[in-house]
Chains A and B, each alone.
Chain A
């Protein structure tokens, strides 16, 4: 698949901090790339560099294969963006703001404004002025502006901010539909990881300006699969038996006699019997699932799944 974005060593330094440190990434056509990171991790900075709003201090990137600044400006006509706060004129109505950006993007046909506003649920309130909109409506308008003219690439920075639960689901479905039906590549950032779990096909984990890992949703799902958590009286002895008798090496020992067993090859009873037959007490036993949040927390703590 064609790489839509290829970045190498992107760095952004400000006088008092380094927001991005040698970030490299590849985004292929048709992917929904979830940028995961806490506040201040560098998600917005990365998106702003890719959108041309700020300049990198070091490093380079190709957008639709274009590396030169002028070429990149031309290629940006193929993208839509909602970065930080939605940008619009508060004294104009929703419809006027859309018309303003339609003219600016050179999108032919006024009906596109109606179609786009309908897709984000703002058509009925199109006569409302920007300054009177609720946070959720502003976010929808920002999304509508980004979607004008059917871009091939979308940059969405925390798009669920201010949306109610129904709005979040609507937005998610809309983005999935656009990705599925029109093969639009989406780069979406969020610190609400559960939101990305429903959407992303590839993840990039950012922390303190560094790209910790890029992983496909499939690979992540395998890594994050179900696991068995046991609290035993002697964790050291139990894990030794686990390796010797069951040839099981995929586990993690936590504090307080807690053992997490991944990639289970046997049923729960086998693991419980292993303890019972060897005089190890089982104080608790639960089936659990590693969430994206757990995975991210492990990564940022420098922890790793065994």
Chain B
């Protein structure tokens, strides 16, 4: 598997996709803070030119990390079936499991590095350009939140990789991913309003708890991961998701014909 990981790493670092992807997201993050800074400068009464407001946009939208991860998988790893490189790997004696696990490893590494760069630009520019605002610990809380969500974000990528190898068409893989990560939790939440047991299950689904148990606005920050129970919930559900999606990926990739 080491050779496969080396080759995938070589490919990812020798194609522009990951650089463009990271560059665009980091650029947008910087642009966002520059815009807040500019508005604050031209209008001193502008209330949103603060670090707390800037970072609150990430804090209450941590599910964004899942989407970003899936897009990265889609851009960097989804086309090997289409361009025939997967069938070469299989013909050269690399097992389907090695291919899947190798992709999971490289995808995780690449996305973590990309995330680190984007966060550095986003948090750095917010701290340097803007006033602290209502929550002086905004940076710390945001970083804590990202750390808590990372296991589930990796799980979401693993699911994306598994679906890309399972589905013949990438679009179908994208739709299936959305169904698992967003639609099913949403349906469970709605049904949970009527059926109590389902509400308990729905409460452990990242889409639900990140959407409903995080408040970060101009009035103050009350985030799930600020309590030990919240941290445990994020990490446990993240690791369970990771294990479930890894098993699913291994099972489907074993039977995959290329």
List A residues at the B interface (Cβ < 8 Å).
48, 51-55, 70, 73-81, 83-92, 96, 99-101, 103-106, 145, 155
Contact = CB atoms under 8 A, between A and B. Distances in A.
A36 B241 CA distance: 50
B196 interface: no
Given A51-B91, A53-B257, A81-B92, A88 B84 contact: yes
Contacts of A53: 87, 90-91, 257-258
20 contacts: A48-B87, A51-B87, A52-B90, A52-B93, A76-B90, A85-B84, A89-B15, A91-B16, A96-B14, A100-B10, A101-B7, A101-B88, A103-B3, A103-B7, A103-B10, A104-B6, A104-B92, A104-B94, A105-B92, A106-B3
Contact of B92 (A77, A84, A89): A77
A55 B88 CA distance: 15
B91 A76 contact: yes
Interface string B8-29: 0011001111000000000000
A114 B84 CA distance: 23
B87 A87 contact: yes
A55 B11 CA distance: 28
Nearest to B2: A106
Contacts of B17: 91
Contacts of A88: 83-85
B83 A89 contact: yes
A236 B253 CA distance: 64
Contact of A79 (B11, B91, B95, B257): B91
Contacts of A86: 84
B127 interface: no
Nearest to B86: A87
B4 A87 contact: no
B217 to A, nearest CB: 42
Nearest to B95: A73
Nearest to A149: B92
B89 interface: yes
A80 B90 CA distance: 11
Contact of A100 (B7, B16, B84): B7
Given A53-B258, A104-B92, A89 B11 contact: yes
A251 to B, nearest CB: 47
B93 A75 contact: yes
Interface string B216-233: 000000000000000000
A87 B90 contact: no
A61 to B, nearest CB: 14
A100 B17 CA distance: 16
A84 B90 CA distance: 14
B84 A87 contact: yes
A83 B255 CA distance: 20
Nearest to B3: A106
Question: Which of A76, A104, A155 gathers the greatest number of chain B CB atoms within 10 Å?
Answer: A104
A79 B84 CA distance: 17
Contacts of B10: 96, 99-100, 103
Contacts of B255: 55
A85 B87 CA distance: 10
Nearest to B88: A87
Given A81-B92, A87-B84, 4 more contacts: A79-B91, A79-B92, A90-B83, A92-B11
B11 A100 contact: yes
Contacts of A74: 93
Contacts of B93: 52, 73-79
B256 to A, nearest CB: 10
B87 A83 contact: yes
Contacts of B91: 51-53, 76, 79-81, 83, 155
Most buried by A among B15, B83, B255: B83
Most buried by B among A55, A77, A105: A105
B92 A54 contact: no
Contacts of A83: 87, 91
B109 to A, nearest CB: 16
B85 A87 contact: yes
A145 B7 CA distance: 14
- Of listed B16, B89, B93, B94, residue having the most chain A CB within 10 A: B93
Contacts of B94: 73, 104
